[in-house]
Structures are given as C-alpha cells and as structure tokens.
Structure 1
Amino acid sequence: MAWISSAEAIRQLGVRPQTLYAYVSRGRLEARPDPEDPRRSLYSAEDIERLASRRSGPKRAAEIARASIAWGEPVLTSKLTVIAEGRLCYRGVDAIDLSQTATLEAAAAHFWAADYAPRPGMPPVTDGPLKARLFTALATRAGTDPHARGRSRAMLATDAATVLETLVDAATGGTGDGPIHKRLGAAWALDPDGADLVRRALILMLDHELNASTFSARVAASTGASLSACALAGLSTLSGPLHGAAVNGVLAFLSEARLLGAGVAVSARLDEGRALPGFGHPLYPGGDPRATELLAHFEVPEKLADILSAVANESGEYPNVDFAIGAMAQRFALPTDAAFSVFAIGRSIGWLGHAMEQIETGSLIRPRARYAGEMLDSAAWP
C-alpha cells in the first residue's frame, strides 16, 4: 500500500487539515505514523483517491461522459467487435481473415452466433433511386413489424436475416437466389472479380464497434423497437456526410483531382486547411487495414494511384476504407449510390447484431444532458 504526507493528502482532497483528521477519526481514511518522523502521520493513497473521486463525483462524471462521446473511453460492454493494435475482429475472428473466403451470409451467422435463416419477405421495393429504395424498404417493415421485447434469440436472428434480405432485395430491385454478393453483382453488371470484391467489402464493412450508426441502432433497440426499426435508425444515421455518406465526399475529391491533377488538388486542399476525404482514421494511425485489404484485390486506376502518391508525399496520411470503396466504385463503374449501398448492407449486419445484444440486456439507454443555459424567473415570462 502506498502512503502520502498530510500536505499531499490535503492538496489532493482540497480540504482543510481539520477535515482530514475527521476522515481518520470516522474510519474513512487510514493513517499511520511516519517511520522517519513519528510526530507526523502518513495517509493511505488508495483511501485518498477514493475520497477524492467521491468529492468530485458529478464533475468528474460529466468530464468522463463528455470525453467518451468523441472517440473516447468505452461506454458499454459488448462481445461483438474489438479494434486493437490496428486489427478489426468480429467475435474474436480477424475481419481480414473472415473476408478471404466467407460469404456475407456466413459472416452474418458468425456475428449473430445464430443460423442464417430468413423467412419469406415482402415484395421488393423497385421504384425510385437506389438509396431511396433502401430507406423505403426498411420504413415499410418498421411500420408493421412487431417490437422486439419478449422474442426469443432464435426468432430475433430470423428477424435479422429477414431484414437483411429486405435491404438486398431493395438494392437489386427484385428477389433472387444465391449468395448476396452474386445477386448484387448481377444487378450491377459486375464480372466475377467485381462481385467477389463486393463480397470482401461487405464483410469488411460489417461492423466497426460503437460508431454513430451502431449506437443509434442500439438506442432504438434499448426501447424494444423492432429490428427493422433499429436498422432504419442505423441507416438514417449512416446517411450523414460525416459517416456513410462520406464516400460521396471521396468521390467529389477524386473528380477534383482528375480535373486539376492529383498534386495540385491535394496541395490546394492542404493550403486551404481543408480535409482530404478518404484519408486518415483516428482508430488506425498506422493505416486502415480494411482499405489495405480491398485495394490489394484490384488494380487501382492510374489517376487514383496518383492521388495515393500525392497524399503520401504531401501529408503522410494513409487511405481509409471510404477511399477504397470510392476507388472500387470508379474501377467497376458501379451505379450511383452503389458505394453507399455496400456500406449500408454490410453495416446492417452490425446494427442488427448490436440491436440483439442490447435487447438481451433489457436496459434502456437514456443518458442525461448537462444543462448549459440560463434559468429565467417565471415571473418574467409574458
């Protein structure tokens, strides 16, 4: 056990000497004579830390909560995904390894720890742009599907597989047989190599721990909402330009670089203090392994390779998965919003897995807000 002087104890606690002595007399703080000077006392550092944390509880809790919101400390416990030392693992299996040969259906079964067994679904949504069809399909289900509370794990897994199939049918514009990646490949006129790259991308996009869209899905699940409603919450959050729709920013940057030249486009953005879409990631300072894996499986067009080189020379940043998906979309001439759809369909497996895990906890996610406004006298209200 570590021991500290009275002066240090008083400093850490922010109290007067009398209060320190009162803690000892009440048994809340252990003290002992200083071996080097019996006239003085030493105090338990562990007890001091405990008392200090209690004294600053609300303030400290608020600081921790605030720091946890943006790439901060973990805020809940999960057995699904971990990102550590530059690796992404789903239920203990490296995502890169899983993407080598697994179908999306097999990856979903692993992530959900359940058989992939969807029930016959509703007629597919065929009208409207690709992205709109995804929203319409989930919203239609969310308006009629039963809530999730009280449903068995097996039934929830069937619900999850059915929701995923609903998204795939919306993306392809019809129902079909065979692996999901081949159905998407056929709908998007891809050759076998292109379809297999979609398979890899879907699996690598499957989950990314507690990102914004996954947290949205878990909040919805904590209320007992249906799995389709949870997926819709995730999709809505994914659509923001700082999340799944970031790939649109990448595509705009790629077009900019083609027009101006890679070196000029990169230098101009850096000189203006603007971001380089598709590069860098807070969780992967040594490079996003998902991007590295995807880019290794197709020949990057020359102009895109020039961008990679220019960014490396000018900023030292590595490409992230948004760049890889954008490059894939250009290399295989994917339809408008297909890149977003790959992101959404893959990530929906994560939303559904997290939703099931949250439902099983039986707890409601309901944080508190720290009010920063002013209080008005009610008498002054007109």
Structure 2
Amino acid sequence: MRLFLSRFLPELSPVSRRERLRAAAGALVGILATGLVCRAAVGSEALPILIAPMGASAVLLFAVPASPLAQPWSILGGNVVAALVGVTAASWIPDPFVAASCAIGVAIALMMALRCLHPPSGAVALTAVLGGPGIRALGYGFVLWPVAANSLLLLIAALLFNNLTGRAYPHQRLAGPRTADPPSDARVGFRAADLDAALEDFDQVLDVDRSDLEQILRRVQMRVYGRRSGSITCAAIMSRDVIAVAPDAPLGEALRLLRHHRIKALPVTDEGARVLGIVTQTDLLDKAAWDRAGPRLGWGRRLRLTAERGRAPHGCAADIMSPVEPVRPDMPAGELVLRLSEAGLHHLPVVGADGRLVGIVSQTDLIPALLAEAGAARAPAQTAPA
C-alpha cells in the first residue's frame, strides 16, 4: 500500500526549512503589497482589486523563482496574452464552456510560441470568460486592470523580496568565459550538443532552466570523478604560509601584497583569522578603477555598494572581495575539483575545525597531485606480468 501511495507523491529536491519559510513569507508579502497598492489606486469596489490567479503566480515567483515558468516575461507576457485571448473568446463565442475551452487552448499555444508559458495564466483566461458580469463588462479593460496591474506589482514585489533575501531574480545563468572555447568542466564527459539532443528526444516541457539542468549534470559528473579519485586531501597539497589581507586594507595595499609576494589571490580575514572573502587579480581588474595612483573605487561601484549596504564604502579590500566558501583540510582532491569549478575561482582558502585560516589551495597545487595519482594508478597495471 505504501508503494502504491508513493506513486502519487512528487519527487521534490530537498529544501531547507529556511527556504520554505522564505518562500511562504515572500508570497505573503507579495500578495499583501499587490492588494494594498491596487486598493489604494482604485479607491472603490467598482473594479476588481485582486484576481485569484495571482495566488498561483505567487507560488511560482517566490517558491520556485529559478523556474523558466516564473521569469518576468513569463508572468507579464503569459497573463496579458491569456487575458487578451480570454476576453476575445468571451466576446466572440456565445457558449461560455466552448469559449473557456477555446481560450485555454489558444492561450497555451500562443504562450508556448512566445516563450512566456505561465501556468496561472490558464486561470486568467478562464476568469476572463467565467468571471461573471462584472469581469465581462470590463471588456479589454480587463487586460490592463486588474491583470497587467496585478502582474506588474507582484513582479516588482518578487524582484525586491527575492534579491533582498539572497535569491537572484530574474534567474541568472552562470557566466562562462567570453571566448569560443567551452568552460573547463565542459571539455570532459558529455557535450552541450548531447544534452540538446537528449532534450529533443524527450520532447516535453521541463520546469527547469536548460543551463541549470546542464550544471546539475556537470556537478553529478564531477562528483563521480571525485569519488573515483584516491586519498589525496587538501592538507597534503595546500600552501600553509598564507598571505592574507584585512577587510579595511586599502586597495593599494592589496595590490602591493599581490605584487610583492608574486601571488594571485588574498584571503580576506578578520582579527580572528576567519575568512570573510577573497581578493583576486580579477577583482582588482574588474571592480576597481585605475589611474596613475593605482586602483581606486569607481563611482558606479560606490553607488551600487551604498545601495546594497545602506552605507558608503571606504575603497578597501572588503569593497571588491568575492564571496568564497572555505574548504576543510580533509577534503579529497577530487571533490576540490568540483568546488573550484562551481566557485569559478582558481584559489580556495582552507580552514581548520575552529574556522580559522590554515592554508590556501590552488589549481596549480591540484594539477600535479592529480597527475601523480593517475601515474601511480597506471604503474601497477603496466608492470603486472602478462
């Protein structure tokens, strides 16, 4: 019986309690803000203030903001297209059930053609047809109010809430190198064309971004490689004489340390040697403005940091550092390959059990270790008697 009932339950990816609370709070805030703003704008009960399909849109925008069905064009384009189709069907087809079925079918076809498929938009089309005399009396005005207004306000709420709580929205694809070469982790294993061919064979709409799906498969692939690797750990290959920089150190000081020690990355640590981030050569090139006096913080980045933090930056290492998740000394070298690839970095700080910086490991450290391990694994096979 348990096996039979399990077939009716979806297999969802594991989600933390914090993420569940974030999604629920986001939907609460989004719908409340949309309703209050619309009520203030209308000022009367003559027009609909909030339509039911917005509840379904809130589920997508706040619970699964990475879904292709939850992106800005999906909600705006999908809801507006569905409303237009629904109003047209209601005015042209006398029978409400025939009009409703035609509205749903045509709306889905148009949304898929325009790449704005949004499941709640089906309810928008039905509302335009079956919403009652008040809705039908609005005619094409229903498209602008309440559909477009509700959709736009809910989208603004999602943009603010998701980004303020640490969820990038609209969903961002991982940026690779701007060259014709594929990323390093895409040069082994399956190719992007293989994934495209498999998706074409599958021939169904998947509620996951194609680039996200590729990243998931790449991570699975790298974890398999890591599991097959031997017993070399970060502790065996890391550099222990680490040059770090304080978060309030001027940019010129960070540049001087990189040049003097001939290194390419500086962990940023507090007074207790706990890692706050990392400053790399790329950070100095991309996030700082340069003049004859050296690197400084440009006005564009100053304004952006002020908006994010609510206070003015000081032109120090903390203003250009990249976020980084340190690794532990006992991490296998194979898993380190995955972490470097995911972070898009060439260096990762290593921290001990107390969270204090104990070393730094780089791709330069990793490659000879993996090559030596591969050579040692082949040697017995080559020397074995026939």
TM-score (normalised: structure 2): 0.25
Of structures 1 and 2, the one scoring higher in RCO (CA 8 A, sep 6+) is 1
TM-score (normalised: structure 1): 0.25
